[in-house]
Amino acid sequence: MTIKDYAGGNEMSFQPKVDRGFSPCPEQVVVVGGGRWARVIITELCGIVAPSVGICVCSRHNARAMSAWVQDCGIDRRVQVSSDWPPKKLRATAAVIIANAARDHAEVVEWAVSNVQPVLVEKPMVLSAATAHRLASLAAERGAKFAPAHVLLFARYLENFGRLVATAKSIRALTISWRDPRREDRYGEEKTYDAGLPVFADCIPHVVSIIRTLIPDSPIRCDRLDFIRGGARLKLLLKSGEVPCQVQLERNGDRRVRFIEAFTEGGAYKLDFAVEPGMILGPNQTTIGDPEWNAGSRPLATLLTAFLTWAAGGAADRRLHLAVGLQSCELIDAISTRYQAAQASWIKNKLASADEPEDDLRYAIAEILQIDGRVPESDITRRIEHLRIRPDESTGRCGSTIATPRPIGSGSFDQTGTPTNGQL
């Protein structure tokens, strides 16, 4: 395997740029995470930072597999892998990129800002607005650079769509659809999701990026949530100022869907980017989302370059501002209250129904059981069977606890995957 093979052949081929200039960068980049997205980031870093820059990967749970991947790609001389956290050896200047499970983000961010290390954190930034604001205050107090990785803000096709919509006078309504199929290969590897992270917590940062691009500096609230398929599909009615935004989010669907539709005084405009860079459809024209897609930098490379330049003392990119991450966390908190109440009611009803598809019930129960991490499939099956026999527990230990607003990611489980704090 090579970096080119991993990237799908034409996404991010690794060719060391020995004779070409590189953007400013700290002496070392530390990537925290051992999953698919961490590997995508490492692939990009190998193409955009100078060979002299050290790349260190820290993964508590997947260091062995990451080491094997690094060797297979032929970059083991350049990329060091460790199971240690915090890293034992840091160069004089270093930057930290967080791409591990969302439930572990806060711990790593706190270490980085406490040690005044520039830090970029994948979405969702952390799992509660209170934690996000506390860490933002700590970063300000310590003078640390702390940025959310909202990669969609660095997509030229979204920028181009925003500029076109802006010429059509005021926006009257928005529709956003973000749906993933049951199985999908991305960057040469099967895409998976964190089963303990609700779909809205995973996708709202993208939704906020889209809305802020089209309707800048406007507050966003949630007015309605429709809970479908055990939470695998949601319909949300958001309001950006007074502009209604219909949002559909889905996991385990039948196909990949990515589109934005803006209804303006000048007509309807649509960006369909299920296949990047997508197509922009307007009342009188259809254009490619990004004419420079094959020649220019892709969104992730642009994001990483902007962050590393800032980390090395260069100018800050406005798209790295904490405001978008904080707003996302606040909206996730607001949706969470509605979601947990709907989830509790749905589970109570469906446990008593023989008609409910097993996959949907399994999705809902598995999400709650795996808030703090993956549990064996057998434990999920056993818990569903138990609740079907004792449905009264779904209205007590299960229902009442789920309906009580709590931060996403809170929960405690024993070694069998049974919650010890009353959840399920």
pLDDT digits (tens, 9 = 90+) for 404-413: 334 555 443 3
Please give the pLDDT value at position 23.
Answer: 83
Residue 402 pLDDT exceeds 90? no
- Average confidence (pLDDT) over 297-323: 97
Helix (H) or strand (E) holding 281: strand 279-281
Residues 188, 308: Cα–Cα separation, whole Å: 26
Please give the pLDDT value at position 149.
Answer: 98
- Average confidence (pLDDT) over 383-410: 55
Q: Residue 287 class from Cβ within 10 Å (0-12 exposed, 13-18 middle, 19+ buried)?
A: middle
Higher-confidence residue of 108 and 2: namely: 108
Please give the pLDDT value at position 26.
Answer: 96
Count of residues making up the chain: 424
Residue 357 pLDDT exceeds 80? no
Please give the pLDDT value at position 32.
Answer: 97
* Residue 70: band (very low, low, confident or very high) from pLDDT cuts 50, 70, 90: very high
Q: Which residue has the tokens 């509605």?
A: 338
Mean pLDDT of all residues in the chain?
87
**Residue 308 is which amino acid?**
L
Residue 148 pLDDT exceeds 60? yes
In the chain, what percentage of residues exceed pLDDT 90?
Answer: 73
**What would the pLDDT profile of 245-256 be if each residue is shown by its tens digit?**
999 999 999 999
Please give the pLDDT value at position 350.
Answer: 87
Please give the pLDDT value at position 355.
Answer: 62
List CB contacts of 142: < 8 A, sequence separation 6 or more: 113, 114, 116
Residue 180 pLDDT exceeds 50? yes
* CB distance 90 to 111 below 8 Å: no
**What would the pLDDT profile of 110-127 be if each residue is shown by its tens digit?**
999 999 999 999 999 999
Please give the pLDDT value at position 322.
Answer: 97
Residues 279, 273: Cα–Cα separation, whole Å: 6
Please give the pLDDT value at position 392.
Answer: 63
Please give the pLDDT value at position 323.
Answer: 96
List CB contacts of 122: < 8 A, sequence separation 6 or more: 33, 37, 97, 98, 99, 102, 105, 149
Please give the pLDDT value at position 394.
Answer: 55
Residues 406, 273: Cα–Cα separation, whole Å: 34
Which tokens go with 87?
């890293």
Please give the pLDDT value at position 399.
Answer: 39
The H-assigned helical ranges of 29-81 are 36-48, 63-72
Please give the pLDDT value at position 292.
Answer: 96
Three-state DSSP class for 245?
strand
**What would the pLDDT profile of 361-371 be if each residue is shown by its tens digit?**
999 999 999 99
Q: Which domains does the chain have, with CATH numbers?
A: 3-149+299-320 (3.40.50.720), 153-288 (3.30.360.10), 334-403 (no CATH)
Residue 299, φ and ψ in degrees, nearest 5: -55, -45
Helix (H) or strand (E) holding 266: none
Please give the pLDDT value at position 331.
Answer: 98
**What would the pLDDT profile of 331-355 be if each residue is shown by its tens digit?**
999 999 999 999 999 998 888 776 6
Residue 67 pLDDT exceeds 50? yes
Least confident of 145-149, 165-169, 328-332: 165-169
Residues 112, 247: Cα–Cα separation, whole Å: 34
Residues 189, 231: Cα–Cα separation, whole Å: 25
Q: What are the distances in angstroms from CA 383 to CA 170, 198, 394? A: 51, 19, 11
**What would the pLDDT profile of 3-55 be if each residue is shown by its tens digit?**
444 443 333 333 333 335 788 999 999 999 999 999 999 999 999 999 999 99
Three-state DSSP class for 83?
coil
**What would the pLDDT profile of 258-298 be if each residue is shown by its tens digit?**
999 999 999 999 999 999 999 999 998 899 999 999 999 99
Higher-confidence residue of 6 and 403: namely: 6
Q: Residue 15 class from Cβ within 10 Å (0-12 exposed, 13-18 middle, 19+ buried)?
A: exposed
Residue 184 pLDDT exceeds 80? no
Residues 175, 206: Cα–Cα separation, whole Å: 13
Residue 227 pLDDT exceeds 60? yes
* CB distance 297 to 305 below 8 Å: yes
Q: Count the Cβ atoms, other than its own, within 10 Å of residue 73.
A: 22
